[in-house]
Structure formats: C-alpha cells, structure tokens
C-alpha cells in the first residue's frame, strides 16, 4: 500500500498530475478525470470507485458520443496581473465555482519563487489571488502538493484541477 504519510510532501505527485494534463491537452481522444477530492492520505488509489467511474463516463459521453453533458471541472487557462494580484481564468468554469468549507490550497510568489498562502476571491468565473507577503506576484499554484484538501469545485461538482502557472500563461 502506498502511504503519503511517510514521505515529505515535495509535490512530485503534482508534477505527475501536470504531465497527465499536458497529455490530455495534446493527445487526441484522451480525457482527464480529476479525482483529488476522492483520494485518501494513506492510499494512492481511491477505494470508492463509483464517483471515479461516473466522472470517466461523463467524459466518454461528451468526447466520444457527442452528448451535451458537463464532463469537466474547472481547469486553469491563463492569468492577468492587476490590482497587486493575479486574476486567474479557467476553462470549464461556466457559472462560477462552489466552495466546500474555506477556500484553501492557493499560493502565489514573486520573481523569487517563494510561495505564500494566497487570499482567494471568487469573481464569477475567475479567481483573484493576493498575499500581503507578495507585492508583485508572478506565479500562482493550487493544490500543487502530493495530497491536500480540495475546496474549489465547478458548478457540476467536479473539482478544480491542481495547477501551477508560468510566465507564458499571461494574457
């Protein structure tokens, strides 16, 4: 059995998730099922398979059978620097977001790439991030960890996919 408990949270699983998202965006006939909210601290594979299968089925219905279903949760697209923070734009965020508990998992950094927890404000289909420690933010990330609490979801109940920004994302 895999255990997150016995390893430092160095974010290497987040890097694997990021590679999976790149494959989804560049390889035809693929999907990306975000299930971080169904994970467990001591098991890399969720024991409750039903919601995983349901999300995969939605993507199959949309991508391969052409059905008009909401099959994806929000996915980071780009950002705009403004008002001393970063405004993040997303694909698949129609209607905005739902929050489970308090918003957490967002961090921002300046040019030194020292990340600090970010104050996240929902602005319709966008999210604005700021932090008093970061005067000129350049980078943002969400749940860029091996295992973490998931608090941001699309209106369809599918979680926001973990991400990190790069300077090439600026619009």
Return the percentage of the chain with pLDDT > 70, whole number. 91
Residues 120 and 83 in one domain: yes
Distance (Å, rounded) from C-alpha 120 to C-alpha 99? 11
Phi-psi region of 128 (alpha: psi -120 to 50; beta: other; left: phi over 0): beta
Q: What's this model's pTM, rounded to 2 decimal places?
A: 0.89
Residues 43 and 83 in one domain: no
Residues 116 and 158 in one domain: yes
Residues 41 and 94 in one domain: no
Mean pLDDT of 54-78: 96
Output 168 or 61, whichever has higher pLDDT.
Answer: 61
Domain coverage including residue 109: 75-166
pLDDT band with cut points at 50, 70 and 90 for residue 56 = very high
- The domain total for the chain is 2
Residues 114 and 94 in one domain: yes
Residues 36 and 10 in one domain: yes
Distance (Å, rounded) from C-alpha 125 to C-alpha 87? 10
Distance (Å, rounded) from C-alpha 79 to C-alpha 20? 21
Residues 19 and 95 in one domain: no
In the prediction, which pLDDT does 44 show?
72
């Amino acid at each position: 059995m895999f255990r997150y408990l016995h390893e430092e949270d160095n974010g290497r699983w987040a890097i694997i998730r990021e590679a999976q998202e790149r494959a989804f965006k560049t390889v035809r006939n693929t999907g990306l099922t975000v299930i971080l909210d169904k994970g467990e601290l001591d098991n890399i594979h969720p024991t409750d398979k039903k919601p995983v299968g349901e999300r995969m089925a939605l993507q199959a219905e949309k991508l391969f059978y052409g059905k008009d279903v909401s099959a994806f949760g929000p996915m980071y697209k780009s950002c705009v620097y403004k008002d001393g923070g970063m405004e993040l734009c997303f694909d698949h965020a129609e209607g905005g977001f739902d929050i489970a508990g308090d918003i957490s998992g967002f961090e921002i950094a300046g040019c030194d790439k020292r990340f600090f927890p970010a104050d996240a404000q929902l602005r319709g289909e966008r999210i604005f991030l700021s932090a008093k420690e970061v005067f000129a933010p350049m980078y943002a990330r969400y749940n860029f960890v091996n295992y973490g609490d998931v608090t941001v979801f699309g209106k369809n109940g599918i979680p926001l996919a973990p991400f990190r920004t790069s300077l090439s994302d600026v619009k």
